[in-house]
Structure 1
């Protein structure tokens, strides 16, 4: 399995055909700078993540690391899982930068950049916090919707905003009766405000739809207070017939293909293509009528964080739904991102045993034999090596006395040692295999978490400065507290979003397939 120089890797990533670029580094390393098309798949959880991200075993895969040999170790693991076309970038991310290519900060880069390109090319009408606040004070009729997930809405939102994840407003339009009142879509920053407003304007022609400039962060930066701990109420019932009619009209207008289950099976059986099947409904609907063949990927969140679900560039994506509307909107946006998309409606009528032949089941992870935290503490005092594989910030907050923080790509030398692992089942199972191969005489997992350890009467140690920030590679410190009152972090985050398009080279910009649209007319010319 040869290493690629950065120039050849760059050429392959932008060439026609499917390819997966997987970043083996941990979340903090990835977020501090990665190639534009690199999908996060940290080595600490590689085998648990890669099957969903890259379901076809013979798709070309390019790995990137920190130039520290982790990609080569990962290639061995992937080969054992049946992946047959694996390469890695010689020298990793540092070599990529040395070759003159940009390492992009942040996460969900293709999705975030889509929002900025849509704003640039389609002129999505927007409203600033000053005007919105004056409208609210005047009691002017309007609908203010938060397009993020319900959990994000509860954390903080604009006072008076209603939780309505992107895609759901168009789906439930008839229950809202907005009349001619403007609809304002907000998120925490820019992307879901822009995408949510643009999508609703296209789905509901003639409606007055505006994106709130810079979302909750822009509202806070204007000196206004946010609302915290707001309960996300239930979404209203829908008129299924009306939703289906809107979906049909939208698919006709934008040439989005509707397929049935037989056609979906045919696509999935194509040995030369990767196919994903994703359920775009609200998570509560997915949970109420689960279908193992369709992974839950709520439409608005899917477009916000596409690389969480899809690891293969230029793959086929089948979007499932009940009426087809939310799937059609997600299909439209994924097409702008360069994917081949299809809509598979009527999910609630699927046979319970129906499966789409895509990918392989995830491997079974053998957890190490378990011991109690009390026994682990005693054994650590007697000389066993106790490693805490939980998140670095969780370790700082409280860990078993004698435990050292570690993570799979940086496990210490263990030849001849007995090793004890604290952490979740996936992390300990995967690390235990590496430790056994590294010569550990035995590996055991420690049951429980910090709350259970405290409840059992064990005194925990805290270490606010250990591991040091430079060693806490699992945590992204880049503007991490922008939603917790750090206005300087909010400014830097918004500047980062606004600067994304300028960082693109011609190949990166060429990954998008933006339709020729102008939303100023779709919103009756109302701008702020």
Structure 2
């Protein structure tokens, strides 16, 4: 990572708060790994781990003169100056450090929040409180299933989350798809629709979306989602694959379109023609362009310059997708429903939102999923999987060490035998644990991150440093041996925060604690005061 020849200015917590209250553009950048970030951070902080900042910055903060305020201390080390230097090297011209870091923010009375995607989760709690979103307890829903009542259960999470665990009989209908597709599953207005997620937010937003868009069916959220279901001692399904019909009847589409447009207008969403998009490009303003359809539809053809961000997840993860608070957001779809519904929620969360008016199919001429923009890493020696395998077979003590800088979840799933898990930003600490070697080989999933890590490692050792060509994916493709598990952790697995609502082996106390935390978010919002949420 970049050396520190430049002294960065410091910005006080008060100045950051004033920018948020003044609704001027600012990105508050937390460069710790995800787990320490999730323990406590300001409401509008966005997580940019120093370990992979080069791979994320240009995509998530597209305007190079955006005002960036950086902080992040972990394990007694201030990561912020290093991250600021990298950001400056990437072309960002307005980079400052948060004076005194997170400790100063707290000392100044700044509110700090736990978990990830906190803006959306706190907003969801506010929606339920303001709109009295109907909900049913797990036991009530189980009774309806047992009685074979006229009820349809829809799961508003991503399909992969749904497949991991789901409510019996539930169908996967990710958030932004609900208003468009639910009438195909429940064409009779007397059919009850129940929306669930893992916890609370997406079920609340999904249920309220159906109500806001004028669905005549009775709708309710599954109170506390799969967490509530599990705490009630009820069995979940695993590996389910039910999806809503791909085709939507013309009459149903029009009803959905009318309802979505009405709530979007009420929330303050503005409309813009495709030929007028350039007028949103203004000096000093960040513009995010998102296509809110499914990834498959996006890949089949999308408007040039638009990124894929399925609407339900965009509302859930706005702090990740749009870390520049105060930016503009423009949304596109091909049905006149999903962009309006997504926009209605983002506008209620305080964003300036536009929706692109319908365009001819031919205008969506860009296909595939473009690679995220990233700089080139410094040149480094590389080694093929076959050559590395030979080196490892012939290696004696102290000859070679393989360092894997991939995400820890991927490392645990499978890695090169003998490889050490390392977090890139903690290479110096890792070297104190790993036995010294005359040659180090770095890998990750594809080798992209490993190439950046190799440049860092060269500054820390006089040993030979090289990168595995194609990363661990190439090793796997070559049919070479693998191992799994936490076999060699050079540093703790702080790169990933374990959500209390994910997976199937969570402790009951952790799940209940998570629900209790969500219930307290409205009080935190009131103390913080920077949210500008306005429930329509």
Deviates more, 1:494-503 or 1:21-30: 494-503
Deviates more, 1:417-426 or 1:446-455: 446-455
Check conservation: 2:198, 2:226, Cα contact below 8 A: yes
1:504 maps onto 2:525 in alignment: yes
1:265 maps onto 2:278 in alignment: yes
**TM-aligned CA deviation for residue 479 of structure 1:** 3.0
Aligned CA distance change for structure 1 residues 194 and 226 (closer, same or farther; 3 Å): same
Match of 2:507 among 478, 486, 504: 486
**How far, CA to CA, are the matches of 1:418 and 1:79 in structure 2?**
31
**How far, CA to CA, are the matches of 1:185 and 1:515 in structure 2?**
20
1:256 maps onto 2:269 in alignment: yes
**Number of the residue aligned with 1:410:** 426
**How far, CA to CA, are the matches of 1:84 and 1:25 in structure 2?**
22
RMSD, aligned α-carbons? 3.0
Check conservation: 2:39, 2:114, Cα contact below 8 A: yes
1:189 maps onto 2:196 in alignment: no
**How far, CA to CA, are the matches of 1:442 and 1:96 in structure 2?**
43
Deviates more, 1:430-439 or 1:191-200: 430-439
**TM-aligned CA deviation for residue 10 of structure 1:** 3.5
Aligned CA distance change for structure 1 residues 350 and 66 (closer, same or farther; 3 Å): farther
**How far, CA to CA, are the matches of 2:334 and 2:482 in structure 1?**
52
Which ranges of structure 2 fall in alignment gaps of 5 or more residues? 1-7
Match of 2:189 among 157, 172, 179: 179
Aligned CA distance change for structure 1 residues 155 and 374 (closer, same or farther; 3 Å): same
**TM-aligned CA deviation for residue 332 of structure 1:** 0.8
Deviations 1:140-198 (A, max 9, x none): 21221111111111111111111111122211354341322221111111000100011
Matches within 5 A, 1:375-454: 375=390, 377=392, 378=394, 381-392=397-408, 394-395=410-411, 400=416, 403-412=419-428, 418-424=439-445, 425-438=447-460, 440=462, 442-447=464-469, 448-449=471-472, 452=475
Check conservation: 1:482, 1:489, Cα contact below 8 A: no
Aligned CA distance change for structure 1 residues 284 and 503 (closer, same or farther; 3 Å): same
Check conservation: 2:227, 2:501, Cα contact below 8 A: no
1:374 maps onto 2:401 in alignment: no
**How far, CA to CA, are the matches of 1:460 and 1:253 in structure 2?**
55
1:285 maps onto 2:300 in alignment: no
Deviations 1:104-162 (A, max 9, x none): 22100101111011111111111111222222222221221111111111111111111
Aligned CA distance change for structure 1 residues 369 and 348 (closer, same or farther; 3 Å): farther
Q: Under a length normalisation based on structure 1, what TM-score does the superposition of the two structures give?
A: 0.87
Aligned CA distance change for structure 1 residues 39 and 353 (closer, same or farther; 3 Å): same
Aligned CA distance change for structure 1 residues 249 and 405 (closer, same or farther; 3 Å): closer
1:164 maps onto 2:180 in alignment: no
Match of 1:225 among 219, 223, 235: 235
**Number of the residue aligned with 1:524:** none
**How far, CA to CA, are the matches of 2:147 and 2:418 in structure 1?**
61
- Equivalent residue pairs, number: 508
Q: Under a length normalisation based on structure 2, what TM-score does the superposition of the two structures give?
A: 0.86
**Number of the residue aligned with 1:56:** 63
Aligned CA distance change for structure 1 residues 352 and 216 (closer, same or farther; 3 Å): closer
